[in-house]
């Protein structure tokens, strides 16, 4: 049985290739039931997620713990393991560090959605947040589009500057403390935060902007205000996102968003006409995480590792 640690995962995965792998896998034969949430005592925000998926070739399950408060103690907010099993025998094939797998697949899914939803001429990417996921989002987005400028905003400017030093891109990297101005200048906005209050407001967003919401994986979390959803084209990574994210539940409750108009990413891949209609339309991609992508990445990792041995 293989064990793939964080360094192994990052060494084996290339963002552009992973985007192509997921483009095929999301419309393939993987079955993914709704994930289950379990509150962890000791912190209001602490959650354990169990995320299974399977097809004829393999079974997999990710056990993930999430707690934004852990960062105050110097620990990652996300951690866990992924177990991959053979579809025929049921025997364990690999244990993979879930933090690395989650970061790379989340970033790749985000970039994949942007290939359908962002305007072709989009040149400025704004990252809202400074967590461990942000460098992977930037790398993934820059692997599918030649951005001229990448703007990074965070509540802690030192953390934002640290992210700026960490990323590798040909684009100009700008660290800002003025979020509203940055939003108004961006073509693509990607949010990866644990915020419980909206950070992106419709009044600041230019027509034609693509907004990528990666945080808000619980009903109490928000990254965008209700007004942003009025008239916007909304795509989710998986239909389960509709009942899990405050960024979808609240606008649906207030009437800013009609749940029947929401499509998921597999539908968009099969039918790209479900995507952007014109240069002025605001598009929104809301992701809460999909176990289909987890299994696809785990399968790909094991195949890459086996081929290199």
pLDDT digits (tens, 9 = 90+) for 7-21: 999 999 888 999 999
Specify whether the CB–CB gap between 106 and 291 falls below 8 A. no
145 and 82 within one domain: no
The CATH number of the domain holding residue 23 is 3.30.1780.10
Specify whether the CB–CB gap between 113 and 235 falls below 8 A. yes
279 and 208 within one domain: yes
Q: Which domain holds residue 10?
A: 2-101+291-308
255 and 119 within one domain: yes
Q: How many CB atoms lie within 10 A of CB 219?
A: 14
What does the alpha-carbon distance between residue 98 and residue 6 come to, in Å, rounded to a whole number?
8
Helix, strand, coil % over all residues of the chain, rounded to 5? 40, 25, 35
Q: What is the mean pLDDT of residues 205-221?
A: 94
Q: Which helix (H) or strand (E) holds 179?
A: helix 179-185
% the chain with pLDDT above 70: 100
- Give the count of alpha carbons within 13 A of 100, CB side only: 17
163 and 140 within one domain: yes
240 and 111 within one domain: yes
Q: What is the mean pLDDT of residues 108-130?
A: 97
**Per-residue DSSP letters for 96-165?**
EEHHHHHHHHHHHHHHHHHHHHS-TT--EEEEE--STTHHHHHHHHHHHS--SEEEEE-SSHHHHHHHHH
113 and 9 within one domain: no
Q: What pTM, to 2 d.p., does this model score?
A: 0.93
Q: Which residues pair with 36 in a beta bridge?
A: 50
Q: Which helix (H) or strand (E) holds 113?
A: helix 98-117
161 and 279 within one domain: yes
Residue 169 vs residue 136, higher pLDDT: 136
What does the alpha-carbon distance between residue 278 and residue 144 come to, in Å, rounded to a whole number?
20
Structural domain count, the chain: 2
20 and 74 within one domain: yes
pLDDT digits (tens, 9 = 90+) for 224-272: 999 999 999 999 999 888 988 999 999 999 999 999 999 999 999 999 9
175 and 263 within one domain: yes
Q: Please say whether the dihedral angle defined by the alpha carbons of residues 118, 119, 123 and 128, taken in this order, is positive or negative.
A: negative
The CATH number of the domain holding residue 222 is 3.40.50.720
51 and 94 within one domain: yes
204 and 159 within one domain: yes
Buried b (16+ CB within 10 A) or exposed e, 55-84: beebbbbbebbbbbebeeeeeebbbbebbb
234 and 219 within one domain: yes
> Across all residues in the chain, what is the average pLDDT?
93
User: With 90 as the cut, is the pLDDT of residue 169 above it?
Assistant: no
- In 3D space, the residue among 126, 128, 137 whose CA is nearest the CA of residue 102 turns out to be 137
pLDDT for 309 equals: 66
């Amino acid at each position: 049985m293989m064990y793939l640690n964080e360094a192994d995962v990052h060494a084996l995965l290339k963002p552009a290739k992973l985007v192509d792998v997921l483009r095929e896998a999301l419309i393939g034969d993987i079955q993914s039931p709704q994930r289950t949430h379990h509150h962890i005592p000791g912190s209001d925000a602490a959650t354990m997620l169990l995320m299974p998926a399977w097809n004829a070739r393999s079974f997999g399950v990710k056990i993930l713990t999430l707690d934004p408060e852990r960062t105050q103690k110097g620990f990652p907010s996300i951690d866990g393991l992924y177990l991959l099993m053979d579809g025929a025998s049921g025997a364990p094939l690999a244990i993979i560090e879930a933090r690395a797998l989650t970061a790379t697949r989340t970033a790749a899914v985000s970039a994949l959605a942007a290939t359908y939803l962002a305007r072709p001429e989009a040149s400025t990417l704004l990252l809202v947040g400074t967590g461990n996921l942000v460098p992977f989002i930037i790398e993934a987005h820059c692997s599918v589009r030649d951005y001229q400028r990448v703007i990074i905003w965070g509540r802690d400017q030192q953390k934002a500057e640290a992210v700026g030093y960490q990323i590798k891109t040909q684009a100009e990297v700008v660290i800002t403390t003025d979020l509203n101005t940055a939003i108004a200048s961006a073509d693509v906005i990607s949010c990866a935060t644990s915020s419980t209050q909206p950070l992106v407001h419709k009044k600041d967003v230019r027509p034609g902007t693509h907004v990528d919401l990666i945080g808000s994986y619980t009903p109490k979390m928000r990254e965008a205000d209700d007004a942003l959803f009025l008239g916007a084209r909304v795509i989710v990574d998986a239909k389960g996102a509709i009942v899990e994210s405050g960024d979808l539940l609240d606008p649906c409750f207030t009437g800013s968003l009609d749940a029947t108009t929401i499509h998921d990413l597999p539908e968009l891949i099969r039918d790209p006409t479900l995507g952007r209609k014109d240069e002025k339309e605001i598009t929104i991609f809301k992701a809460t995480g999909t176990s289909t992508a987890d299994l696809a990445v785990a399968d790909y990792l094991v195949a890459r590792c086996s081929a290199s041995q």
